[in-house]
Chains A and B, each alone.
Chain A
Amino acid sequence: MGITNTFKRGIHPKDFKEMSKNVSIDTYRPFGEIIIPMSQHLGGPAEPIVNKGDRVLVGQKIGELKGFVSASVHSSVSGTVKEIKNVILANGTNSNAVVITNDNLYEKVESMNHENILENLTVTEIREKIKEAGIVGLGGAGFPTHIKLTPPADTKIDYIIVNGSECEPYLTSDYRIMLEEPNLLISGINIILKLFPEAKCIIAIENNKKEAIELLNNIVGNDPRISVKGLKTKYPQGAEKQLVYATTGRSFTSQKLPLNVGCIVQNIDTVVAIHKAILTNEPLLTRVVTITGDAITTPKNLRVRIGTNLNELIEAADGFKNGKTPEKIISGGPMMGKALFTTDVPITKGTSAFVFMSKDEVAESKPTNCIRCGGCVTVCPNGLLPLYLAKASIEGDEEEFIKLNGMECCECGCCSYTCPSKIHLAHAISSMRRDILAKRKK
């Protein structure tokens, strides 16, 4: 195994996980309208294959993937298609979506009543089932899983890394899954390992989740192909490049993917989704969402059906604390998550948490002159000079930005977090980076 259990630089923000880390996962059944967006993943949106007035069942495919990088979507409830319209998503973008009136019967499609045995499935069948199930990376980026698990034929995969680091503050959904559904996780891992007979699996967990490390270690036992590795608690330990380095000692730049160094990284809940898709024919219908923050009454970890309205989850967590509206609501963790301007959004495959905050720390801190303390350089996990990248961005100097390796930024936000002058470094850098990426696409 690698010599290290961490990466260079990074930060240690207060983790706020105690609010929800000991709260078991509740299954939440939505009662209201369900909104299933066609674009919940990286790549082309799916195409609706149902019409207004159609009756749909739990697990029925309602959107067919379109193009190479795309993923199908399924109905998470039974009911009637009310309309197909454009909706706003938690990440601020909008998407075509199928709106379903929930009949609260939860009538399943026929195939979901059957179970499969892994030994009877071929590798091709497994990949096809993952594709049919519409599984995407549930960590947030939403890359279609069937593509990730189908590397080019000449690529040798040595390691499947299951990312249990959950390094973002506040988030506890992966932790709860590891504690409560460890057998589903291991089953999912064995399915992936069947696809890569020569690979070994490393379950990477930050050392602040001792119980999860212990539990999984006990279950894994002496399994020659699966091991649990404790990682140093540090942000962004779960970032793909940093995680691969911490677990295997291999490193790569943004020009490459983990598979170029023989690794595939999978999110915890994604692996559970793979187990369900293969063994119980259940497409991706639910995900675990952490509802937390100091402005919510009862922090929760909920297994939520895709398409559930966030307002329902706020009620499930007993509403805003003391009836006071939060200052800020974040979809995802506070380091890389997106701030919401409305709570009227559906849960999508990529929403891991909602953090309700009574204070807006960003609005409270006013940027002042850079004092060149070098703090941003000390924390940048990618070895960049954020102060100069932000300067290049503000001055509109793309050439200098590229020369300073600005395209290697992973937008983790460590620089902005640490800056004593409260300069919006990550914002400046990511805007220029995205501009350049958009231009390159043209």
Chain B
Amino acid sequence: MENKLYKVSSSPHIRANRDTETIMQDVALALLPAALFGIYNFGYRAALIIIISVLTCVLSEYIFQLAMKKPITISDGSALVTGLLIALILPHTVPYWIPVLGGLFAIILVKQLYGGIGQNFVNPAIAARVFLTIAYTNYLAKYVVDGVTSVTPLAVVKAGGESVELSKLIWGTVGGSLGETSVVFLLIGAAYLVYRKVISLKIPLIYIATVFVFAGLLGPEMFDLNYMLAQVFSGGLIIGAFFMATDYVTSPVTPKGQIIFAFMLGLLTMLIRLYSGYPEGVSFAIMFMNLWVPIIEKFTRPTVFGKERKNERHN
């Protein structure tokens, strides 16, 4: 037999098929139905906002890494996902420089300056949205449906007006950010992510259930089902719960931590929606809870196998 030296490496010698790239591709794919509906609902401007936002994110990541002489990672798809998310949570009426600014803020300041993928401590798209909301409130709060400037369902609710028809909320033919209005199309994408095991339902379901319950407790009338459902189906809750609160990088890795994280998101969202100056609280809540992740993880470390139960002599 020939005297060849074979390759060695430490075990294990096999790897699962999944990698960062396939995960990001799945997320991007899952956002498509909502994006397409946004274009259908709000017209060509929505398409342009999406294209500008995605291009800004991917290009700024590429140029930054080139300038910093770092390995180029745009092929992992994470910048694409950030770009898509930023566009989907902006109103289609914003000036075209708004998604550019948001993309730069998310990719350069929030993601790359902290070390790139995996190193950011708040979700880049959420941080961009919060920054834009505060800095350019006038542009961000302008929602138009059918050519008429209108207020979002949440703003209506907040102002104490008549609530919007539930069916409209579910299909998404209401005012709002261009990709966040359609519950149906967002859930199609979310179902795909669950099927592909990219996300688990734990965080989204606890988040949404908490909002539902607190809407019932804190709403104008105790447990008004219509009001509770309106709170769940309007604003950015569905896109936030399924696509942003589940962001790997900025949510806890510990099973118990995820429960606390999701519950706090629900509580904070309702507190902001009901008692702050803003009609919507999803972005603020997610960003705020992102900051708590390290401390949540520290106190929710899983129990080591063998310590969880008394060693029974008989069973």
On A, residues with C-beta under 8 Å from B are: 1-3, 7-8, 11, 13, 92, 158, 169, 241-242, 245, 248-254, 256, 260-262, 311, 314, 325-330, 334-344, 355, 357, 360-363, 365, 368-374, 377, 381-385, 387, 404-405, 408, 411, 413, 416-422, 424, 426-427, 430
A426, B118: Cβ atoms closer than 8 Å: no
Cα separation A254 to B304 with both chains bound (whole Å)? 10
B311, A251: Cβ atoms closer than 8 Å: yes
Max chain A CB contacts within 10 Å: which of B6, B76, B252, B307? B6
* Number of A-B residue pairs having CB atoms within 8 Å of each other in the complex: 189
B33 adjacent to chain A (CB < 8 Å): no
A369 and chain B: residue at smallest CB distance:
B118
On B, residues with C-beta under 8 Å from A are: 1-16, 18-20, 22-23, 73, 76, 78, 115-119, 248-255, 297, 301-309, 311-313, 315
B200 and chain A: residue at smallest CB distance:
A378
The smallest C-beta distance from B314 to any residue of chain A, in angstroms, reads 8
Can you list 10 residue pairs at the A/B interface with Cβ under 8 Å? A249-B315, A329-B6, A339-B6, A339-B8, A340-B6, A368-B117, A377-B254, A382-B305, A417-B12, A419-B15
A342, B6: Cβ atoms closer than 8 Å: yes
B115 and chain A: residue at smallest CB distance:
A369
A343, B315: Cβ atoms closer than 8 Å: no
The smallest C-beta distance from A343 to any residue of chain B, in angstroms, reads 6
Q: Is the interface of A mostly helix, strand, loop or mixed?
A: loop
With contacts A336-B11, A416-B12 taken as known, whether A383 is within 8 angstroms of B253 at the C-beta atoms is no
The smallest C-beta distance from A440 to any residue of chain B, in angstroms, reads 19
Cα separation A340 to B254 with both chains bound (whole Å)? 37
The smallest C-beta distance from B7 to any residue of chain A, in angstroms, reads 5
The smallest C-beta distance from A262 to any residue of chain B, in angstroms, reads 7
With a cutoff of 8 Å between Cβ atoms, the chain B residues found around residue A413 in the complex are 11-12
With contacts A342-B6, A377-B253 taken as known, whether A382 is within 8 angstroms of B304 at the C-beta atoms is yes
B1, A241: Cβ atoms closer than 8 Å: no
A408, B305: Cβ atoms closer than 8 Å: yes
The smallest C-beta distance from A415 to any residue of chain B, in angstroms, reads 9
With contacts A338-B11, A371-B117, A413-B12 taken as known, whether A251 is within 8 angstroms of B20 at the C-beta atoms is no
With contacts A372-B253, A377-B254, A404-B301 taken as known, whether A421 is within 8 angstroms of B19 at the C-beta atoms is yes
B15, A362: Cβ atoms closer than 8 Å: yes
B248, A427: Cβ atoms closer than 8 Å: no
A330, B13: Cβ atoms closer than 8 Å: yes
A329 and chain B: residue at smallest CB distance:
B6
Cα separation A332 to B72 with both chains bound (whole Å)? 38
Q: Which of A1, A341, A418, A421 contacts B20 (CB 8 A)?
A: A421
B13, A328: Cβ atoms closer than 8 Å: yes
